[in-house]
Amino acid sequence: MQSVLIAIQLLVSIALVAVVLLQRSEGGALGMGGGGSGLGGLFSPRGAADTLTRTTAVLAILFFLTSLALTLLALHGRSESFIQSQTNAPLSTSALLKTLPHPAQPKVPSVPLPH
């Protein structure tokens, strides 16, 4: 199930990038286009822009939903919930030092002391 969702996530991501790159910028060529297109639907510049905007919105929603589903699948097998794991208090410094193994003291030659 998780591998299927990852494949869908990948396809949606690629499609989302492609659709965003196909769109015109908001500031560029505002007065151009329109012209004598008798179809007035999808193939007019305005209709194509509306279609790309709707497609972007649908792909963004799909991306969000697949991300949410993958996160829930990843957290499904845990013994404690995500909230419980975040509320555990961190170890104090002294408790942390007690749990760490102490390194062996390096063997260095002794320095003769003056009498």
Domain membership of residue 62 (yes or no) is yes
Domain membership of residue 105 (yes or no) is no
Structure confidence by residue, pLDDT tens digits, 24-43: 776 554 444 444 444 445 55
Domain membership of residue 100 (yes or no) is no
Domain membership of residue 85 (yes or no) is no
Domain membership of residue 101 (yes or no) is no
Q: Which residues contact 19 (CB under 8 A, 6 or more apart)?
A: 52, 55, 56, 59
Say how many domains are in the chain.
1
pLDDT score for 32: 47
pLDDT score for 55: 92
How many angstroms separate the CA atoms of 8 and 3, rounded? 9
pTM of this structure? 0.54
pLDDT score for 57: 94
Domain membership of residue 4 (yes or no) is yes
Domain membership of residue 3 (yes or no) is yes
Domain membership of residue 114 (yes or no) is no
Range of the structural domain that residue 20 is part of: 1-24+46-77
What 3 state SS string does 15-82 have?
Answer: HHHHHHHHCCCCCCCCCCCCCCCCCCCCCCHHHHHHHHHHHHHHHHHHHHHHHHHHHHHHHCCCCCCH
Per-residue pLDDT of the chain (115 residues; tens, 9 = 90+): 889 999 999 999 999 999 999 887 765 544 444 444 444 455 566 777 788 889 999 999 999 999 999 999 888 877 666 566 555 556 566 666 666 666 666 677 777 778 7
